[in-house]
Chains A and B, each alone.
Chain A
Amino acid sequence: MNITSAQYYNDISGSQAGIKATIDGTEMFVPLDPANRHYAEIMRQVAAGELTIADAD
Protein backbone atom coordinates (compact mmCIF):
# COMPACT_ATOMS: atom_id res chain seq x y z
CA MET A 1 0.00 0.00 0.00
CA ASN A 2 1.16 3.49 -0.82
CA ILE A 3 0.17 5.64 2.17
CA THR A 4 0.88 9.30 1.55
CA SER A 5 -0.82 10.88 4.57
CA ALA A 6 -2.26 9.82 7.91
CA GLN A 7 -3.87 11.87 10.66
CA TYR A 8 -5.88 10.87 13.70
CA TYR A 9 -9.39 12.28 13.88
CA ASN A 10 -11.74 12.58 16.84
CA ASP A 11 -15.39 11.76 17.38
CA ILE A 12 -17.97 14.31 18.51
CA SER A 13 -16.89 13.91 22.14
CA GLY A 14 -13.24 14.58 21.36
CA SER A 15 -12.12 10.97 21.73
CA GLN A 16 -9.88 9.38 19.12
CA ALA A 17 -12.15 7.81 16.48
CA GLY A 18 -9.79 6.66 13.75
CA ILE A 19 -7.20 7.67 11.17
CA LYS A 20 -7.92 9.73 8.09
CA ALA A 21 -5.45 8.47 5.49
CA THR A 22 -4.70 8.69 1.80
CA ILE A 23 -4.00 5.14 0.64
CA ASP A 24 -3.22 4.33 -2.98
CA GLY A 25 -4.53 7.77 -3.88
CA THR A 26 -7.86 7.39 -2.11
CA GLU A 27 -8.82 9.27 1.04
CA MET A 28 -10.40 6.97 3.58
CA PHE A 29 -11.34 6.79 7.23
CA VAL A 30 -9.64 3.85 8.93
CA PRO A 31 -10.89 2.38 12.23
CA LEU A 32 -8.51 1.60 15.08
CA ASP A 33 -8.96 -2.14 14.56
CA PRO A 34 -5.91 -4.40 14.20
CA ALA A 35 -8.01 -6.73 12.03
CA ASN A 36 -8.49 -3.92 9.50
CA ARG A 37 -5.78 -4.33 6.87
CA HIS A 38 -5.37 -0.59 6.32
CA TYR A 39 -4.87 0.02 10.04
CA ALA A 40 -2.46 -2.92 10.25
CA GLU A 41 -0.41 -1.56 7.35
CA ILE A 42 -0.41 1.98 8.77
CA MET A 43 0.92 0.68 12.08
CA ARG A 44 3.48 -1.53 10.32
CA GLN A 45 4.81 1.48 8.44
CA VAL A 46 4.85 3.56 11.63
CA ALA A 47 6.81 0.83 13.40
CA ALA A 48 9.24 0.68 10.49
CA GLY A 49 9.77 4.42 10.65
CA GLU A 50 8.25 4.89 7.21
CA LEU A 51 5.16 6.84 8.26
CA THR A 52 4.09 9.33 10.91
CA ILE A 53 0.51 9.81 12.02
CA ALA A 54 -0.31 13.46 12.63
CA ASP A 55 -2.29 14.47 15.70
CA ALA A 56 -5.98 15.23 15.37
CA ASP A 57 -6.96 18.81 14.60
Chain B
Amino acid sequence: MSKAAELAALIGSGQAQGDKNLIINGAMTVDQRHDGSSFTIVNGNSTTGVIADRFRVNETSGVVMTGQRVADAPVGFEYSSKLTVTTADSSLGSTEFHRMIQPIEGKNISNLNWGTSNAKTLTLTFYVKSSLTGQYYISVFNNAADRTLLKGYTISSADTWEKKTITVIGDQTGTWLTTNAAGIYLMWSLGTGSSYQSNTLDAYQAGFFMAKSDQVNLAATNGSTWQLTGVQLEVGDGPGTAFEHEDFGTTLAKCQRYFQNNGGNRTMFSSDVTSGSNYFSTLKYITAMRAAPSVTFSSNAANGFNTADPNPQQLATESFEVYKTATSTTGGGYYLFIYTIDAEL
Protein backbone atom coordinates (compact mmCIF):
# COMPACT_ATOMS: atom_id res chain seq x y z
CA MET B 1 0.00 0.00 0.00
CA SER B 2 1.34 3.44 -0.87
CA LYS B 3 1.99 6.00 1.86
CA ALA B 4 -0.91 8.05 0.53
CA ALA B 5 -3.19 5.04 0.70
CA GLU B 6 -2.00 4.26 4.24
CA LEU B 7 -2.72 7.82 5.31
CA ALA B 8 -6.16 7.73 3.68
CA ALA B 9 -6.92 4.50 5.53
CA LEU B 10 -5.83 6.00 8.83
CA ILE B 11 -7.95 9.09 8.28
CA GLY B 12 -10.89 6.90 7.39
CA SER B 13 -10.47 4.92 10.59
CA GLY B 14 -10.33 8.06 12.69
CA GLN B 15 -6.80 7.32 13.91
CA ALA B 16 -4.85 10.03 12.13
CA GLN B 17 -6.97 13.04 12.94
CA GLY B 18 -5.80 15.86 15.15
CA ASP B 19 -7.15 15.92 18.68
CA LYS B 20 -7.10 12.14 18.74
CA ASN B 21 -6.40 11.80 22.46
CA LEU B 22 -9.52 11.29 24.57
CA ILE B 23 -7.40 11.99 27.65
CA ILE B 24 -6.93 15.63 28.66
CA ASN B 25 -3.51 16.73 29.94
CA GLY B 26 -1.93 13.32 29.35
CA ALA B 27 1.55 14.86 29.50
CA MET B 28 0.75 16.46 32.89
CA THR B 29 1.78 19.91 31.67
CA VAL B 30 -1.12 21.74 33.36
CA ASP B 31 -1.18 21.87 37.16
CA GLN B 32 -3.54 24.72 38.05
CA ARG B 33 -4.09 23.74 41.66
CA HIS B 34 -0.55 23.15 42.90
CA ASP B 35 1.89 24.33 40.20
CA GLY B 36 4.33 21.58 41.07
CA SER B 37 4.04 21.82 44.85
CA SER B 38 3.62 18.71 46.96
CA PHE B 39 0.42 18.25 48.92
CA THR B 40 -1.11 15.66 51.23
CA ILE B 41 -3.92 13.55 49.85
CA VAL B 42 -6.59 13.35 52.49
CA ASN B 43 -8.43 10.13 53.16
CA GLY B 44 -11.64 9.92 51.17
CA ASN B 45 -11.04 13.30 49.59
CA SER B 46 -12.29 13.61 46.04
CA THR B 47 -12.17 17.39 45.85
CA THR B 48 -8.53 18.26 46.41
CA GLY B 49 -6.87 15.00 45.35
CA VAL B 50 -6.09 16.30 41.87
CA ILE B 51 -2.37 16.29 41.00
CA ALA B 52 -1.94 17.48 37.40
CA ASP B 53 -5.26 18.73 36.05
CA ARG B 54 -7.87 16.06 35.28
CA PHE B 55 -5.91 13.32 37.10
CA ARG B 56 -7.48 12.71 40.49
CA VAL B 57 -6.46 10.40 43.29
CA ASN B 58 -9.05 8.72 45.47
CA GLU B 59 -8.11 6.70 48.48
CA THR B 60 -10.25 5.36 51.26
CA SER B 61 -7.79 3.46 53.46
CA GLY B 62 -5.58 4.48 56.36
CA VAL B 63 -2.68 5.33 54.09
CA VAL B 64 -1.31 8.85 53.87
CA MET B 65 0.15 9.87 50.54
CA THR B 66 1.54 12.99 48.98
CA GLY B 67 0.80 13.99 45.43
CA GLN B 68 3.01 16.13 43.24
CA ARG B 69 3.49 17.01 39.60
CA VAL B 70 7.24 16.48 39.25
CA ALA B 71 9.85 17.19 36.56
CA ASP B 72 10.69 13.52 36.11
CA ALA B 73 9.55 11.84 32.92
CA PRO B 74 10.68 9.56 30.11
CA VAL B 75 12.35 11.03 27.03
CA GLY B 76 9.86 13.14 25.11
CA PHE B 77 8.05 14.39 28.20
CA GLU B 78 8.84 16.85 30.97
CA TYR B 79 6.43 16.04 33.80
CA SER B 80 4.70 13.20 35.56
CA SER B 81 2.16 12.92 38.36
CA LYS B 82 3.73 11.25 41.37
CA LEU B 83 2.31 9.58 44.46
CA THR B 84 4.47 8.86 47.52
CA VAL B 85 3.30 6.83 50.51
CA THR B 86 4.22 8.61 53.73
CA THR B 87 2.22 6.45 56.16
CA ALA B 88 1.74 2.83 55.13
CA ASP B 89 -1.42 0.72 55.43
CA SER B 90 -0.55 -2.90 54.71
CA SER B 91 -4.00 -4.31 55.40
CA LEU B 92 -6.73 -3.15 53.05
CA GLY B 93 -10.33 -3.52 54.21
CA SER B 94 -12.74 -5.11 51.77
CA THR B 95 -14.06 -1.78 50.48
CA GLU B 96 -10.83 0.19 50.75
CA PHE B 97 -8.84 1.24 47.72
CA HIS B 98 -6.41 3.75 46.22
CA ARG B 99 -6.56 4.78 42.60
CA MET B 100 -5.72 7.38 39.99
CA ILE B 101 -8.65 8.26 37.78
CA GLN B 102 -9.63 10.46 34.88
CA PRO B 103 -13.33 10.79 34.02
CA ILE B 104 -13.94 11.41 30.31
CA GLU B 105 -16.90 13.64 29.54
CA GLY B 106 -19.68 11.95 27.60
CA LYS B 107 -19.74 14.72 24.99
CA ASN B 108 -16.22 13.66 24.01
CA ILE B 109 -17.06 10.01 23.35
CA SER B 110 -20.16 10.28 21.18
CA ASN B 111 -18.15 9.02 18.19
CA LEU B 112 -17.31 5.73 19.92
CA ASN B 113 -20.80 4.19 19.65
CA TRP B 114 -20.30 2.36 22.92
CA GLY B 115 -23.37 0.47 24.02
CA THR B 116 -24.05 -0.54 20.40
CA SER B 117 -22.82 -3.24 18.03
CA ASN B 118 -20.65 -0.59 16.37
CA ALA B 119 -18.62 0.10 19.52
CA LYS B 120 -15.10 1.16 18.56
CA THR B 121 -11.97 -0.34 20.01
CA LEU B 122 -9.48 2.01 21.69
CA THR B 123 -5.79 1.81 22.41
CA LEU B 124 -4.41 3.10 25.70
CA THR B 125 -0.74 3.96 26.00
CA PHE B 126 1.01 5.39 29.03
CA TYR B 127 4.35 5.55 30.81
CA VAL B 128 4.54 4.32 34.37
CA LYS B 129 7.27 4.09 36.99
CA SER B 130 7.08 2.65 40.50
CA SER B 131 9.34 1.58 43.33
CA LEU B 132 7.19 -1.57 43.60
CA THR B 133 7.31 -4.10 40.77
CA GLY B 134 4.51 -6.57 40.12
CA GLN B 135 1.01 -6.85 38.76
CA TYR B 136 -1.20 -3.80 38.31
CA TYR B 137 -4.58 -3.18 36.67
CA ILE B 138 -6.48 -0.51 34.86
CA SER B 139 -10.25 -0.38 34.84
CA VAL B 140 -12.68 1.15 32.36
CA PHE B 141 -16.20 1.65 33.71
CA ASN B 142 -19.33 3.60 32.88
CA ASN B 143 -21.17 6.39 34.69
CA ALA B 144 -23.53 4.05 36.49
CA ALA B 145 -20.58 1.84 37.50
CA ASP B 146 -22.48 -1.22 36.30
CA ARG B 147 -20.18 -2.12 33.37
CA THR B 148 -16.44 -2.73 33.85
CA LEU B 149 -13.47 -3.82 31.76
CA LEU B 150 -10.38 -4.92 33.69
CA LYS B 151 -6.97 -5.11 32.02
CA GLY B 152 -3.66 -6.01 33.59
CA TYR B 153 -0.14 -4.72 33.15
CA THR B 154 3.16 -5.56 34.82
CA ILE B 155 5.83 -3.26 36.17
CA SER B 156 9.01 -5.24 35.63
CA SER B 157 11.80 -2.99 36.91
CA ALA B 158 11.71 -0.79 39.98
CA ASP B 159 12.15 2.95 39.54
CA THR B 160 12.35 2.66 35.76
CA TRP B 161 10.05 4.24 33.20
CA GLU B 162 8.11 1.62 31.26
CA LYS B 163 5.71 2.16 28.36
CA LYS B 164 2.48 0.18 28.44
CA THR B 165 0.05 -0.38 25.57
CA ILE B 166 -3.38 -1.82 26.30
CA THR B 167 -6.25 -2.57 23.95
CA VAL B 168 -9.58 -1.32 25.27
CA ILE B 169 -12.39 -3.01 23.41
CA GLY B 170 -15.65 -1.12 23.07
CA ASP B 171 -18.63 -2.30 25.08
CA GLN B 172 -21.54 -3.35 22.87
CA THR B 173 -24.05 -3.27 25.70
CA GLY B 174 -24.62 -1.16 28.77
CA THR B 175 -25.22 2.59 28.91
CA TRP B 176 -22.30 4.89 28.13
CA LEU B 177 -23.46 8.48 28.49
CA THR B 178 -22.75 11.03 25.78
CA THR B 179 -23.95 14.03 27.80
CA ASN B 180 -21.91 16.47 29.87
CA ALA B 181 -21.77 13.82 32.61
CA ALA B 182 -18.93 11.30 32.83
CA GLY B 183 -19.11 8.91 29.86
CA ILE B 184 -16.09 6.75 30.61
CA TYR B 185 -13.99 6.47 33.76
CA LEU B 186 -10.40 5.37 33.17
CA MET B 187 -8.72 4.25 36.36
CA TRP B 188 -5.35 2.91 37.51
CA SER B 189 -5.59 0.76 40.63
CA LEU B 190 -2.94 1.17 43.31
CA GLY B 191 -4.51 -1.27 45.74
CA THR B 192 -8.06 -2.63 45.91
CA GLY B 193 -10.03 -4.38 48.65
CA SER B 194 -11.79 -7.68 48.00
CA SER B 195 -15.22 -6.14 47.33
CA TYR B 196 -13.91 -4.58 44.12
CA GLN B 197 -11.79 -7.50 42.92
CA SER B 198 -12.67 -9.75 39.97
CA ASN B 199 -10.93 -12.56 38.13
CA THR B 200 -12.60 -11.63 34.83
CA LEU B 201 -10.12 -9.86 32.60
CA ASP B 202 -10.23 -8.58 29.02
CA ALA B 203 -14.03 -8.68 28.74
CA TYR B 204 -16.80 -6.43 29.98
CA GLN B 205 -18.72 -7.63 32.98
CA ALA B 206 -21.67 -6.34 34.94
CA GLY B 207 -20.80 -4.47 38.14
CA PHE B 208 -17.93 -2.32 39.35
CA PHE B 209 -14.43 -3.68 39.79
CA MET B 210 -10.98 -2.15 40.04
CA ALA B 211 -8.46 -5.01 40.02
CA LYS B 212 -7.76 -8.71 40.40
CA SER B 213 -6.64 -10.05 43.77
CA ASP B 214 -2.94 -10.00 42.83
CA GLN B 215 -2.88 -6.21 42.39
CA VAL B 216 0.11 -4.61 44.13
CA ASN B 217 -0.88 -2.60 47.20
CA LEU B 218 1.23 0.53 46.87
CA ALA B 219 0.21 1.57 50.37
CA ALA B 220 1.76 -1.48 51.99
CA THR B 221 5.26 -0.03 51.83
CA ASN B 222 6.19 3.24 53.43
CA GLY B 223 8.04 5.43 50.96
CA SER B 224 6.78 3.62 47.89
CA THR B 225 6.15 5.70 44.79
CA TRP B 226 4.09 5.49 41.59
CA GLN B 227 4.30 7.87 38.64
CA LEU B 228 2.28 8.31 35.46
CA THR B 229 2.63 10.37 32.28
CA GLY B 230 2.21 10.23 28.51
CA VAL B 231 -1.35 8.97 28.76
CA GLN B 232 -3.14 8.61 25.45
CA LEU B 233 -6.44 6.91 24.65
CA GLU B 234 -7.24 6.82 20.96
CA VAL B 235 -9.50 5.09 18.49
CA GLY B 236 -7.92 2.02 16.94
CA ASP B 237 -6.76 -1.49 17.78
CA GLY B 238 -3.10 -1.01 18.72
CA PRO B 239 -0.21 -0.60 18.78
CA GLY B 240 -1.06 3.05 19.35
CA THR B 241 0.36 6.08 17.63
CA ALA B 242 2.92 8.57 18.87
CA PHE B 243 1.76 10.75 21.75
CA GLU B 244 -0.09 13.78 20.49
CA HIS B 245 1.75 16.73 22.00
CA GLU B 246 -0.44 19.82 21.75
CA ASP B 247 0.40 23.43 22.52
CA PHE B 248 0.11 24.40 26.16
CA GLY B 249 -2.71 26.87 25.56
CA THR B 250 -4.87 24.20 23.99
CA THR B 251 -4.37 21.81 26.88
CA LEU B 252 -4.96 24.58 29.43
CA ALA B 253 -8.22 25.57 27.74
CA LYS B 254 -9.40 21.96 27.80
CA CYS B 255 -8.62 21.75 31.52
CA GLN B 256 -10.39 25.04 32.17
CA ARG B 257 -13.69 23.53 31.07
CA TYR B 258 -13.50 21.69 34.40
CA PHE B 259 -11.51 23.96 36.73
CA GLN B 260 -10.29 27.56 36.62
CA ASN B 261 -8.02 29.34 39.04
CA ASN B 262 -7.61 33.06 38.54
CA GLY B 263 -4.54 32.88 40.80
CA GLY B 264 -2.93 36.19 41.59
CA ASN B 265 -5.21 38.05 39.21
CA ARG B 266 -7.41 39.42 41.93
CA THR B 267 -10.83 40.53 40.89
CA MET B 268 -11.83 44.03 41.87
CA PHE B 269 -14.71 46.37 41.89
CA SER B 270 -13.98 49.90 42.98
CA SER B 271 -15.87 53.14 43.44
CA ASP B 272 -16.93 55.66 46.03
CA VAL B 273 -19.28 53.61 48.19
CA THR B 274 -22.16 54.41 50.50
CA SER B 275 -22.79 52.38 53.62
CA GLY B 276 -25.73 49.99 53.14
CA SER B 277 -25.67 50.12 49.34
CA ASN B 278 -25.07 47.02 47.22
CA TYR B 279 -22.31 46.84 44.60
CA PHE B 280 -22.29 44.25 41.81
CA SER B 281 -19.83 42.70 39.39
CA THR B 282 -20.26 40.08 36.67
CA LEU B 283 -17.36 37.67 36.22
CA LYS B 284 -17.05 35.96 32.86
CA TYR B 285 -15.06 32.73 32.78
CA ILE B 286 -12.01 32.15 30.60
CA THR B 287 -13.90 29.42 28.78
CA ALA B 288 -17.36 27.92 29.16
CA MET B 289 -17.56 25.35 31.93
CA ARG B 290 -18.90 21.82 31.64
CA ALA B 291 -21.67 22.64 34.13
CA ALA B 292 -22.45 25.44 36.55
CA PRO B 293 -19.36 25.45 38.79
CA SER B 294 -18.85 25.59 42.53
CA VAL B 295 -17.05 28.76 43.60
CA THR B 296 -14.41 29.25 46.27
CA PHE B 297 -13.09 32.66 47.34
CA SER B 298 -9.80 33.55 49.02
CA SER B 299 -7.46 36.46 49.80
CA ASN B 300 -10.35 38.85 50.28
CA ALA B 301 -9.37 42.48 50.90
CA ALA B 302 -11.57 45.56 51.12
CA ASN B 303 -12.05 49.22 51.92
CA GLY B 304 -15.62 50.24 52.67
CA PHE B 305 -16.71 46.57 52.90
CA ASN B 306 -16.09 43.75 55.32
CA THR B 307 -13.80 41.00 54.05
CA ALA B 308 -16.30 38.16 54.28
CA ASP B 309 -16.82 36.30 51.02
CA PRO B 310 -18.84 38.17 48.42
CA ASN B 311 -22.33 36.89 47.66
CA PRO B 312 -22.38 34.86 44.41
CA GLN B 313 -25.53 34.44 42.36
CA GLN B 314 -26.59 33.37 38.89
CA LEU B 315 -23.89 30.69 38.85
CA ALA B 316 -23.95 29.53 35.24
CA THR B 317 -21.67 27.85 32.72
CA GLU B 318 -20.20 31.08 31.32
CA SER B 319 -20.34 33.63 34.14
CA PHE B 320 -21.58 34.47 37.60
CA GLU B 321 -22.41 37.59 39.55
CA VAL B 322 -21.19 38.74 42.92
CA TYR B 323 -22.34 41.54 45.14
CA LYS B 324 -21.28 43.11 48.41
CA THR B 325 -22.98 45.53 50.73
CA ALA B 326 -20.83 48.47 51.75
CA THR B 327 -20.29 48.74 55.49
CA SER B 328 -19.06 52.33 55.49
CA THR B 329 -19.25 55.43 53.33
CA THR B 330 -15.89 56.19 51.80
CA GLY B 331 -14.17 57.46 48.70
CA GLY B 332 -12.01 54.89 46.91
CA GLY B 333 -13.89 51.92 48.23
CA TYR B 334 -12.83 48.58 46.80
CA TYR B 335 -13.23 44.84 47.15
CA LEU B 336 -10.60 42.32 45.97
CA PHE B 337 -10.68 38.55 45.91
CA ILE B 338 -9.27 35.46 44.22
CA TYR B 339 -11.70 32.79 43.08
CA THR B 340 -11.59 29.27 41.76
CA ILE B 341 -14.44 27.56 39.96
CA ASP B 342 -14.87 23.81 39.84
CA ALA B 343 -17.04 21.86 37.39
CA GLU B 344 -15.06 18.61 37.55
CA LEU B 345 -16.72 15.32 36.85
Contacts and interface: CB of A to CB of B under 8 A. Distances in A.
Interface stretch (B117-125, B151-159, B312-320): B312-320
B42 interface: yes
B285 interface: no
A19 to B, nearest CB: 9
B95 interface: no
Given A2-B44, A17-B313, A24-B47, A37 B292 contact: no
Contacts of A8: none
B144 to A, nearest CB: 13
B313 A1 contact: no
Q: Is the interface of A mostly helix, strand, loop or mixed?
A: mixed
Interface in A2-52: 2, 9, 11-12, 17-18, 23-31, 33, 35-39
B292 A33 contact: yes
Contact of B291 (A17, A25, A27, A35): A35
A29 B315 contact: yes
Contact of A36 (B294, B296, B314, B323): B294
A26 B47 contact: yes
Nearest to A9: B311
A28 B313 contact: no
Contacts of A17: 311-315
A23 B313 CA distance: 19
Give the residue among B42, B44, B312, B323 with the most A Cβ atoms within 10 A. B312
Contacts of A27: 296, 309
A50 B256 CA distance: 32
Q: Is the interface of B mostly helix, strand, loop or mixed?
A: loop
B323 A12 contact: yes
B281 interface: no
Contacts of B312: 17-18, 29
B53 to A, nearest CB: 16
B44 A37 contact: no
Contact of B293 (A11, A23, A36): A36
B44 A35 contact: no
Interface stretch (B67-75, B235-243, B337-345): B337-345
Interface in B209-236: none
Contact of B344 (A23, A25, A26, A37): A37
B46 interface: yes
A41 B50 CA distance: 18
A12 B277 CA distance: 12
A29 B344 CA distance: 15
B132 interface: no
B295 interface: yes
A27 B295 CA distance: 9
Interface in B291-312: 291-296, 309, 311-312
B294 A31 contact: yes
Given A17-B313, A35-B180, A28 B295 contact: yes
B98 interface: no
Contacts of B91: none
